[in-house]
Chain A
Amino acid sequence: MKKRLGRAHAGRVAVMIFRYVILTGLAFVILYPFLIKLGIAFMDVTDLNDSTVRFIPKTFTLDNFVNAAEVMDYLPNLLKTVLFTVTISLVQVIFAMLAAYGFASFKFPGRGILFGFVLMTLIVPPQAIVLPLYLNFQSFDIFGLFKLITGEPLTLLGSPVSLYLLAATGLGLKNGLIIFIFRQFFKGFPRELEESASIDGAGVFRTFLSIIVPSAVPMILTAFLFTIVWQWTDSFYTSIFIPNNTFLARSLEMLVTNLSIAGGDGALTSTTYYYSLLNNAGILLFILPILILYLFCQRHFIESIERTGLVG
């Protein structure tokens, strides 16, 4: 008996060692570029001329963050970006869930083809359709309706409405993946629960809201995280459809350019190396809010699973 316990224990230890070795090794691959950024961001300007400094700064400073934040107009733009990203992600996730539920639990003619289109939206890169889409939004009209009413087609270009429209119709950034994830999840959902709800008199939409949605909380959080990250880091769509936006992605992209236009006030502070210090601080400032959000979600979705544990 004792021997058997000993063997089980040894097995657990072996799994533990295996786990830490693999995870730490792979974590290094991931962390390496991140640590480099961290090192650069905290580095003082004087370290640039010190040949003994390579990765780890000799003089730590927060100046880079302060200066980068100033050039990026960080706080006001952060608020704008948060507001825009969160609302557009909510729209994306909600409508993706609706479509996914439609695909997963109803049979209707054309379902297969329509779902094929979901995958197609992922395959066709945004670059391929962006030009026609651009022209489409410039004079937006559905079957000439707006022209009939107001005499003019609507110009949606330059307003966030165009991006919200894309999000609501499941065509935002990588939206197809979100629909696909939810569809798979809903398909695996036990049918009996839905049936018992409908026997209890709940309609389709009621069932969706009170049975399906609560059980999908972990999936919703994951999808929400993805959409947030994609929207947060996107400047392709936003710069085409809202050309004069000041979202953080744009501020970060323009950071070095703006710096070199403004110029520095000393020999060291007007070099590209100095700009790079600020750039790295800017990158960290840029990803910090998403990391915080992830930490929050991460804890929350473990708890929510342990609470519901419904599926299966």
Chain B
Amino acid sequence: MKRGLNLSQKRELKGLVFVAPFALGMLFFFLIPLVQSFIFSFGDVRMNDALTGYQFDWGGIDNYVRALFRELNFTNELRTSVVNMLMNVPVIVMVSFLIAVLIKDKFVGRSLYRVLFFLPVILTAGILPNIDAEDVLQGLMGSGVVVGADAKNTVAGLINTDQLSDLLLSMNIMPGAVNYLMEAIRNIITIVNNSGIQILIFLTALQTISPSINEAARVEGATPWEIFWKITVPMISPQLLVVTIYTIIDSFVNVNNSLMQYIYRIGFVKFEVGYAASMTWMYFLIVALVIGAFYFALSRFVFYNDSER
């Protein structure tokens, strides 16, 4: 009061203290480099031999014109990325949620399965996919955490999806839905390998739902079906939002994403830093728009225990 601050203003200040480290880092280690890379995208950058400095030649919107109109790689890969995202994300979210529900309850072998479904988190992280890809014997045995086209062929060799799809079509199920399902089955390796983090987030969220709520609902006569839709789903909806957003992001900027690999090759192998920066920026804007759209669309359905925040 002395300083002329009222209670809620004081609280505001305290909130700022909590986010201050992040805000500072944001400015120095993110925004400034980001702006710098934006400037790079309008020209060409050459590092000097000692890697202590660089020379920048202004080139206007040349890089952008090149990526959009003169070379086809960027636009093609971009289309593939968006289509893959739309295909895979709903399946990954559903599959990981299903798995989390299945390994939540007590049953014989639960710990074993929990370890199993954590494995992809490790096996697909950081350097490991690359090391697998370069390994000779793994290559001979047709293994490694295979991704993309390879993974699809592996599955196609194991399962004949034609018969299943014929069966489903003869049952008068919508052809579109059947195709989607078949595509999901062919993608199963990619999907399962990209679900590890999602499963763990869901599992943690499911476990923090107090058992007493479920019990109360059961006493009131709710069926398991009702409990699932009216308690479990709303209670974990905050994490559902995290998982969906993260899955979309991961599908876009994952190291296995072919557009990311293309940009990486241009920037770090061919050292066309400016050109790579221009593509990164366009890609970044598109991804940001998609994420923003999903975030606002989904936020409306998220239930927080306390709605006034």
Contact = CB atoms under 8 A, between A and B. Distances in A.
Given A123-B291, A230-B126, A117 B26 contact: yes
Contact of B115 (A16, A55, A295): A295
A279 B131 contact: yes
A78 interface: no
Nearest to A190: B305
B181 to A, nearest CB: 15
Interface stretch (B68-76, B160-168, B238-246): B238-246
B309 A30 contact: no
Interface residues on B, range: 35 or more
Given A22-B98, A119-B295, A27 B116 contact: yes
Contacts of A1: none
B87 interface: no
A305 B102 contact: no
A246 interface: no
B137 interface: yes
Contacts of A233: 122, 125-128
Interface in B212-247: 212-213, 235, 238-239, 241-242, 245-246
A92 to B, nearest CB: 11
B291 A222 contact: no
Nearest to B268: A127
A275 B114 contact: no
Given A26-B99, A169-B21, A235-B127, A225 B200 contact: yes
Interface string A145-163: 0000000000000000000
A82 interface: no
B126 A123 contact: no
Contacts of A108: 12-13, 15-16, 19
Given A114-B23, A128-B280, A30 B267 contact: no
B156 interface: no
Interface stretch (B33-41, B78-86, B170-178): B33-41
A39 B14 CA distance: 56
B141 A55 contact: yes
A26 to B, nearest CB: 6
A287 interface: yes
Q: DSSP class of B's interface residues: helix, strand, loop or mixed?
A: helix
Which of the listed residues B116, B235, B252 has the most CB atoms from chain A within 10 Å of its own CB?
A: B116
Nearest to B98: A22
Interface in B115-130: 115-123, 125-128
A236 B126 CA distance: 8
Contacts of B17: 102
A278 to B, nearest CB: 11
A280 B246 contact: no
Contact of B29 (A136, A191, A235, A249): A136
Nearest to B17: A102
B153 interface: no
A121 B197 contact: no
B89 interface: no
B122 A290 contact: yes
A177 B40 CA distance: 28
Given A30-B120, A122-B249, A252-B127, A219 B18 contact: no
Contacts of A123: 249, 252-253, 284, 287-288, 291
Contacts of A55: 141
B15 A102 contact: yes
Given A133-B33, A181-B242, A33 B145 contact: yes
Interface stretch (A68-76, A93-101, A261-269): A93-101
B33 A105 contact: no
Contacts of B117: 26-27, 30
A19 B107 contact: yes
B136 interface: yes
B238 A311 contact: no
A249 B253 contact: no
A222 B245 CA distance: 18
B135 interface: yes
Contacts of A234: 126-127
Interface string B1-44: 00000001001111111110111111011111110110010000
A218 B15 contact: no
B29 A302 contact: no
B113 interface: yes
Contacts of B238: 184-185, 187-188
B209 interface: yes
Which of the listed residues A30, A121, A283, A299 has the most CB atoms from chain B within 10 Å of its own CB?
A: A30
Contact of A312 (B31, B209, B245): B209
A60 interface: no
B271 to A, nearest CB: 10
A276 B22 contact: no
B242 A184 contact: yes
Contacts of A109: 12
Contacts of A26: 95, 99, 117, 188, 192
A168 B20 CA distance: 11
23 contacts: A19-B107, A27-B117, A29-B189, A33-B123, A95-B22, A99-B22, A108-B12, A124-B280, A128-B280, A129-B37, A132-B33, A135-B54, A165-B29, A168-B21, A169-B25, A180-B245, A180-B246, A187-B305, A188-B235, A291-B122, A294-B115, A311-B208, A312-B305
Nearest 9 interchain pairs by C-beta: A169-B25, A106-B15, A233-B126, A102-B18, A312-B210, A132-B33, A184-B238, A102-B19, A132-B36
Given A222-B201, A253-B131, A283-B131, 10 more contacts: A30-B120, A33-B143, A36-B141, A95-B21, A127-B268, A136-B28, A179-B22, A185-B208, A191-B306, A275-B136
